[in-house]
Each structure stands twice: as C-alpha cells, then as structure tokens.
Chains A and B, each alone.
Chain A
Amino acid sequence: MTRRTWIGWQFVAPFLAVFALVFLAPIVYSVYLSLYRTRLIGGTSFVGAENYTKALHDPQFWSAVGRVSLFMVVQVPIMLLLALLIALAIDSGRLYGAAFFRISIFLPYAVPAVVATLMWGFIYGDRFGLVGNINDYFGVHLPDPLAPDLVLASIGNIVTWEFVGYNMLILYSALRVVDTSLYEAAAIDGAGQWRIIRAIKLPALRGPLLITTMFSIIGSFQMFTEPVVLKTIAPNAILTYFAPNYYAWQLSFGGQQYNYSATVAVVMGLITMLVAYLVQARAVRKAG
C-alpha cells in the first residue's frame, strides 16, 4: 500500500465506519434473516431460498412494485419537467421578482414529510377539507382525492409539492455556472431563446438531470411516509401492500414476519439498484 493510498483511506475511514454500522451491518443482517423463518408456533428454522421463492410469487408484493413503478413513470417526469421549466424561467432573467419565486418554490422542501402529508390530507378532505369547501361553494362534485383510484395521484401531488423546488434549485444552480459568453456568442449569431435553451442550456443540464432523476427514482421506490400518514384518513385506499417499502414495514411490525420482511427489503433493494443502473447506463449511452 502506498503512502498516498494509506492517507486516502484515513480520510475515508470514519465515513466508512459509520457506513458499515448503519448500512452494511443491517443489510447483511437482513440477508441473514431472509434465509430463516420464525413462526409463532414452532420457532426458527433455516429455509434457504424459500422466502425468495415466496416473494417472487407474492401477488401483493408485485402489486406494490407495480404501483410504485407506475408512480415512477408518471410522477418523476412530471416533477422534473416542472422543475426544469421553472429553472429555465428563473434563469431567463425575464421574471419580475425572480429571487422571491426561487425561494418560495423551494420552501416546501423544509417542511417535514409528515407535516406535509398531514396538511395535504386536510386539504384533500372531500367533506370538511378544502375540496369539500370547493364542492360546497361552487355546487360541484369533485372526485374524492383519497378514493382508491385517485390516491396514488394524490400522493404524486404531495411528493411533487415537496421536491419540485429542491430539484429546481439543483438545475437552476447548474444553469448559473454556464459560461455566459456562450449566450453572447449565440445572440450574435442571431439565435433565439429556444435555440439557446436547446443548444446550450439543456446540454449543460444533462449531468444534474441524471442525478435528480436517480434520486427521484430511488425516492419513488422507497415511498413510505405518505402512505403511512394517509392510512388513517384513507384506510380503504391505502392497502397494507400499497408500496413495497410500506409492505415490508407492515410485515415486520403488524405481522411479526421479520424474515419475510427482510426478504422483501432485499429484493426491493436489488430492483432499485437495477432500475437505477439501467437509467444511468441509458443516459450515458445517449450522451456518448
């Protein structure tokens, strides 16, 4: 080991130590748990891959995976597109009060997810919440946002609300470092705003967009707080297998199925890694 290597490891070691304790050890322990089965009657026994076989044939698990996949395919693009448009609008320099817009749109990020979900839960109330108020005042009948077929969209709205500003700021910050002489050169060539966006700004955003996409995808797959909080006001729309992470949590806490819960967590981690990898690989190939 060279001296440089040794010093490098010294800088990284504290982080890795915590990482080992907080992430690796529980993951390894989960993998270990997933190979066993503990029953209320009959105790613990080694079952090998049986839990994995069960997960592969568990319709509830796959329904949960399907739901978050749908969520990912619809919500993530909408949120990132909104974030991109706002970032471009603010960066364009054509807004009145751009600084106010920037910070206002970012503010929801500072609201704890629990509080955010409670607030939106109130607004969604079709009898006493704002939706109910609107129904009363205008004599209309809006569909119940917490009905089983709409609740996923309603969660999408909450998540978008929470994170659109955060993503916008990352994209906006990247636009700020674009060399302005490029714009001047483009302007001299007679390029319009749209041309500048397409030729200069969007390429500059490729990296940040990839990062925000990756984090959003991981976030979608890990959907948890929103269903937990909404369960009390929408008990029939949020099933215990609403999202994989929530399902794993229910299995271990409601049902004491620690082993199977660990299995679901491991499988879900693998799926998330796979999807994140595919997205990244695709993005790199496109760029290349």
Chain B
Amino acid sequence: MRMRMTRRRALLGAAMSITLLAAGCGSSDDSTDEAPAATTVSDADVEAALQAGGNLTVWAWEPTLTKVVAQFQTKYPKVKVNLVNAGSGNDQYTALQNAVKAGTGVPDLAQIEYFALPQFSLSKAVTDLSAYGAKALDGTFSPGPWTSVHSGEKIYGLPMDSGPMALFYNKEVFDKYKIAVPTTWEEYATAAEKLHTANPKSYITSDSGDAGFTTSMIWQAGGRPYKVEGTDVTVNFDDEGTKKWTGLWQGLVDKKLLAPTPGWSDAWYKGLGDGTIASLVIGAWMPPNLESGVKAASGKWRVAPMPQWAAGEKVTAENGGSSLAVTEASQAKTLAYGFLKYATVGDGAQIRTDEGAFPATTAQLTADAFKNKEFPYLGGQKANEVLSEAATQVATGWSYLPFQVYANSVFNDSVGKAYTGGSTLQDGLKAWQEASTKYGQEQGFTIK
C-alpha cells in the first residue's frame, strides 16, 4: 500500500510538476528501530542492539565477507544481514552517491577504499564512529590503515584489509636471466634493463599510468603532495619525494623498459602468466589474485620486500585496501556498528584472514599461524613474513584528497600523456595538479 502511494505521488509529480523532485521529499523504506545516536554509545548498548536484532544492508564487493555474514548470523540469529554486491570500486561509489542524493536506498554499511573515504566523510555520507567507541580500538590495527580511516579526531570507518607494498616477482624468469632480486630502486632499474636486453619481449613490470600505483610510489619516496586541513587543501607535486620517483620512473619509460599493458586487463594476466611481465610492486592483497587469474604460473612467483631508495632502509607505502563504514542515512547505526566490529576486529577478522584476505589487525598480522602459512602458489614460501613486516614499515603522514575519486578518474587525461610519448611524468603530474586544483576550487575548497 505504501509502495503504491509513493508511486502514485511520483507519477503525479512527473506529469504535473518537477518541483516535487526539487523539493527533495525523500522517503526511506528502511525499518526504523532507533533514532540516530548523537550521544555516546557504549559497548553494552551495541551488544544489546545485536541481541535485539534487526535488518542490515551491506554494500561490499569483497568476496570473503560472504562467510563473515553467515557466521555473524549464526552468532546473532536475530540480525538479518543483506549483503549486496553493488559493483566494485567506482561503480559502487557512484551507486552510493546516487542513493545518498536520492535520499533512499542507502545501505547501512558500505565498503569504501581508503583513498575514497575522505570524499564520503566530507560529504557526510558516512558517520563518525568515535561516538560508538571506535577510539578505544587504537592499537588494534596496523598504523597505515588506522591513519587512513581518520579525519582529524574523527573516525569514519574501520579497516577491513590493508595493502602494504611488496615486490612480487617471477623467480623462474629472474633465475633464467640471472637477475638478483633488487633491494633498491637503483638495482631495480638495472634489473629492468638487463631483463629487457636479454629478452626484448620481457619487461620488469607493466605500467601505463595508474593513479593508485603512482600515489603509492610517491608515498614511499617521501613525497606528500596532498595536505588537507578541513576544507583547506594543498596540492603540490613539486616536492623532493615526487621528483625522486619521477626521476627513476621517467628513465624506465624513456628506455621503454615498462610493458605498456594496462593493469587488470586480459593481456596483463597473460603477461603475468607467461613471464613477459616479470614483477609487480603492489599491495599485500595480491596473492589470491595471482592464484585465481594466473594459474599458469603457479609455483613461479615469490615475494620480496619493496625496493628501497637507499640501501638498508625499510620504508613501504599502502596500495589499495578498504574500510567498512556506517552510512549517515542508516536507521540502525548502533546495530551496524555491532556488525562492523564483528567483521573487522571480532571473529570476522580471523574468518577473512583464513579466506585469504590480507588483514589490517595487528593480532592477525602477528599471529604465528599467519606468519608461518606456506603459499603453495608461491612455491611454498612463507610470504606473510615479508608482507606483515611491510605492514609495520608504512611511511606516515600521507593523506588523500577529499575528492580523490574524481582526481583519480582524470589521472590518465594528464599523466597518461607521459606514457604515450607526449609529455613527461613531472609535467603530467603538474597538469594533474592543475586539474585537481581547479576541481577543488569549483567545489568550494580553499586551495593553498
């Protein structure tokens, strides 16, 4: 009945006047079991909400959550969790923005990658969790992801997984051409040249311009191009760290030592399988993707620490990784927080780790069972020893723009030219900076 009323009203609205739409008379279909909490919610309140039960809708594309939801519902039989895959990454952000704008159909929780979280927190699409006791979780997560969910004193999500970077390499190819595993970027550049000279079809890695990869590399090199304080934003790719990276990478691009294969395409998977793309500097979440997408190279790949800018250093950066956040529109925030905690620090953290996700929680990262796990795909290597150490070495002080989703979407418009021969990385980054700045100004930020 209610449905029909809504439809009739809107049909009328469509036919008669469009002002109804403009007025934004939102109606929510969610069951309302509580008022939005403004005051502090205690752990006991959260537990009570879990016991009382209710319905939750979760938007996430992370495959291991399926099992978490099943176990959660066994533990809390009165809570019904509707797990929806609303698309991966940008597709889901689009859907979320549309739902928020429409004021209806917003889920209670949503998976949001770290780089995108500031955009959603700024637009108040997701809620501050400090009122629910999230501050008490300090020390539970590894520092990289924990910083990423913060905006000042506020906490806008809990880390689900993390992506400290490491060097994944095809040992068979490296051995064949007698290339030592590079520990510094200088060695890496030498290895790139040696490999490509030995076999012109092989490349040390592929890159055709990827915003996430580029920012992570600059992060490791010490560049801090983004400074954000509230609505004051600085974008500056002219710093030392950025130049360190562009200096190295421009050399590789100029000598055509990078396969021009876009990441995640069929050609990319093929290259990873047949040895023509011999290594990847990428987040620690990579092993399941290799296992699933590059079956042909099973047993050939290994993991090593990320190459360093100076011999003996131990600095990494985060690449990818997602948080889970409670939406502002949720009518069951306390309950949602209960699920969030279960999924990220409670039993869910272990379930997801067992399913192959790379955890963000210190407990899981430092557990012996985790570190000693042998990866048959990686030739029996105890890869987590390398990866969990990388998680402790993430450089601090990085922040993303509060409109990074947009900035990343136009990355290839400017920096892409450096890969097709029309520009240089440094000039491309400068153009990207201008595009980001212009957008920021249009959106009302103060650009310094």
Contact = CB atoms under 8 A, between A and B. Distances in A.
Direct contact of A and B (CB under 8 A): yes
Interface of A: 17, 20-21, 25, 28-29, 32, 39-42, 122, 125, 127-129, 147-148, 232-237, 239-241, 250, 253-258
User: Chain A at the B interface: mostly helix, strand, loop or mixed?
Assistant: loop
User: Chain B at the A interface: mostly helix, strand, loop or mixed?
Assistant: helix
A253 B442 CA distance: 16
Contacts, number: 93
Contacts of A257: 442
A191 to B, nearest CB: 55
Interface of B: 11, 14-15, 18, 21-22, 90, 94, 97, 101, 122-123, 208-210, 231, 259, 261-262, 264-267, 270-271, 276, 402-403, 405-406, 409-410, 412-413, 416-417, 419-420, 422, 439, 442-445
B15 A241 contact: no
A121 to B, nearest CB: 9
Given A128-B267, A233-B265, A254 B444 contact: no
Contact of B262 (A28, A232, A253): A232
Contacts of B417: 236
8 contacts: A41-B122, A125-B266, A125-B267, A235-B412, A240-B409, A240-B410, A241-B413, A254-B410
B11, B261, B266 pick with most chain A CB within 10 angstroms: B266
Nearest to B403: A40
B206 to A, nearest CB: 10
Nearest to A41: B444
A257 B439 CA distance: 10
A235 B209 contact: yes
A254 B405 CA distance: 7
A234 B420 CA distance: 11
B443 A235 contact: no
A253 B267 contact: no
A25 B97 CA distance: 21
B90 A253 contact: yes
A28, A39, A255, A257 pick with most chain B CB within 10 angstroms: A255
A21 B209 contact: no
Contact of A233 (B15, B262, B416, B442): B262
Contacts of A239: 412-413, 416
Given A235-B262, A236-B412, A254-B410, A20 B15 contact: yes
Nearest to A118: B266
A79 to B, nearest CB: 28
